[in-house]
Structure 1
Amino acid sequence: MNARLAGLALLALLVAAVAWQWHADDAQTREYTLTALDPDAVQSIEVELKGLPAQRFDRRDGHWTSPAGPVDEGRAQELAALAATPVSAWTPASGFEAAKIGLAPPLATLVLDGTRIEFGEMTALGKQRYARVAGRVAFVPAQALPRAPRTASLPTTTSTAR
């Protein structure tokens, strides 16, 4: 009987340790992505690119729609996927002069379900880019930048659902 109790206690301790580690790993993963948002759960996107008109997309019945008309669903998914962009480091925004890193004004602004992300210039070493989220600046991969819409001459996958 004592061996059974000791086994149950050991099992409970092991389960608690695994749960704690899982929670710690999950928290660390969220800290090292641009946002805590799940890209597949994003319902609204607003994007502004320097020199282009602002755009808005909303997910309805599993498809992206826009008040402006047909939507390149692949582009909308790419924009939502930026929520999970890996971050190599976070720094308080107060440690930077925003204009010197391309954040005043930003090259691009992306708002995903109310979370604002501003994208700036490349870092001095050139393989990363500055991105500002909620008073902090992240160092993200250089290619992490919302892409411009395709031109009418290029094929796109579109949805006309509204």
Structure 2
Amino acid sequence: MAAAAPVKRQTLRRLTMVTVVAFLALAMWLQVYRDNSRAQQQMLSSLDEAAITHVELAFRGGPRTSWTRRDGAWQLDGSPGTAVDQGRLEDLVNLAAAPVASWRPASDFDIAKLGLAPPVATLRLDGTTLEFGEPAAIGQLRYARVGERIALVPLQALPRPDQARH
């Protein structure tokens, strides 16, 4: 009978260790899940940049320009064969994932005071419209509107003009 007690203790220790390891694994999984969810919520859009195939860009008071990705390369709509700065288009597409410092409802603001009526730049990515306004009074941030929400994004998160045209 004395031999049964060490076996029970050993079994109890193993069960305790398995429980602790399972708890730690669950805690790690929850942290990764929360971090991924938070990162997705804190981007300017939920678009997958690699899947975007159509880009339209207009600057305040300027014409609208559009491009379509065909066979992995960007082409200027209406002007086949015209050279396109592929890096610039990738920069435009990457604005979909611009980090957001905070979100607020558009109804909380006077849109004109943010430089969003009309916006400094309007970028449409596969039908999702991103409007960029003026720099914010605090920090190195800029206002951006997506639908009925206003985001504060890094100051440099603004489409750049085509250097060949300016």
TM-score band, normalised by shorter chain = 0.7 to 0.9
Task: Report sequence identity in percent.
Answer: 44
Which of 100, 104, 120 aligns to 2:133? It is 120
- Alignment-mate amino acid for residue 62 of structure 1: G
Corresponding residue of 2:67: 57
Cα distance, 1:100 vs structure 2: 1.4
Whole-angstrom CA distance in 2 between matches of 1:83 and 1:10: 41
Which residue of 83, 86, 98 maps to 2:111?
98
Q: CA shift at 1:108, angstroms?
A: 0.8
Tell me the C-alpha RMSD between the 2 structures: 2.1
Query: How many residues were matched structurally?
Result: 153
Matched, 1:129 2:142: yes
Q: CA deviation at 1:63?
A: 1.4
**In structure 1, the residue corresponding to 2:68 is in which secondary structure?**
strand
Flag structure 2 segments of 5+ consecutive residues without an equivalent: 1-10
Q: Which has the higher contact order (CA 8 A, sep 6+)?
A: 1
Q: Give the letter aligned to residue 56 of structure 1.
A: S
What is the one-letter code of the residue matched to 1:76?
L
Match of 1:144 in 2: 157
TM-score normalised over the length of structure 1 = 0.82
Correspondence for 2:121 among 101, 108, 125: 108
Structure 1 unaligned spans of 5+ = 154-162
Find the aligned partners of 2:120 and 2:42 in 1 and give their Cα distance: 22
Give the structure with higher Rg (CA). 2
Distance (whole Å) between structure 1 residues aligned to residue 100 and residue 16 of structure 2: 44
